[in-house]
A and B are shown apart, each in its own frame.
Chain A
Amino acid sequence: KAGVTQTPRYLIKTRGQQVTLSCSPISGHRSVSWYQQTPGQGLQFLFEYFSETQRNKGNFPGRFSGRQFSNSRSEMNVSTLELGDSALYLCASSPGQGVLPQHFGDGTRLSIL
């Protein structure tokens, strides 16, 4: 069974731009969660989507948004990029909302210049 797939693996943007990251969950998994990982703050929860609806949300500004499609694939968007948004963005999937354990992809490394 294929794992969680995130694209792209690496991305370089400049301040003020916006970016869209993609996540394909494990087949049959309907919940997708997004996390931001930085050296200083560690792993922080962004949001969880299930059945195309955001079900849970962390403490991030509105510049961070996401969506989920009917095939459970998910995208995360960050607008008006700031230098502090440089991080590894991780996607995790699980069979249902709040169902653990989650299984992670290898992330998208976003660098802001």
Chain B
Amino acid sequence: DAKTTQPPSMDCAEGRAANLPCNHSTISGNEYVYWYRQIHSQGPQYIIHGLKNNETNEMASLIITEDRKSSTLILPHATLRDTAVYYCIVRVEGDSNYQLIWGAGTKLIIKP
């Protein structure tokens, strides 16, 4: 099964870019990488996803290495409200269904 590895915690200064790494070295060619975040007492919030090309939306940018074994989520100008647990997730296709493999995530703390 493709699985993800993330650092358990990171700090970032307010206003700076937060770069969150994720290792998914066993990912298959057609498996997408998804990023969610979970703010305390709320459900996970979708951020962005990608297959092989870099992606950008209003929330973040996703950089995927050429070999697809790792990716980085970039929050360009972190604010205190970005403090959350960030999950890097891979969708694994089975014979007749699929699974989303959720890891422990990275607890990102934005400091003033």
Contacts and interface: CB of A to CB of B under 8 A. Distances in A.
User: Are A and B genuine complex partners?
Assistant: yes
Interface in B21-77: 32, 34, 36, 41-46, 49
10 contacts: A42-B104, A43-B87, A43-B102, A58-B99, A100-B34, A101-B36, A101-B46, A102-B46, A104-B46, A105-B43
Given A42-B102, A42-B104, A103 B46 contact: yes
B98 A98 contact: yes
A64 interface: no
Nearest to B94: A56
Contact of A104 (B32, B44, B98, B103): B44
A100 B44 CA distance: 14
Contact of A90 (B41, B43, B104, B105): B43
A62 B91 CA distance: 25
Interface of B: 32, 34, 36, 41-46, 49, 87, 91, 97-100, 102-105
B58 to A, nearest CB: 15
Nearest to A103: B46
A95 to B, nearest CB: 13
Contacts of A4: 43
A104 B102 contact: no
A66 interface: no
B45 A45 contact: no
Contacts of B42: 106
Given A42-B103, A43-B102, A45-B100, A100 B32 contact: yes
Contacts of B98: 56, 98
Given A100-B91, A101-B34, A56 B97 contact: yes
Interface string A75-104: 000000000000000101000001011111
A103 B46 CA distance: 7
A101 B35 CA distance: 9
Most chain B CB atoms below 10 A, which of A43, A58, A103: A43
Given A42-B102, A43-B102, A100 B49 contact: yes
B97 A45 contact: no
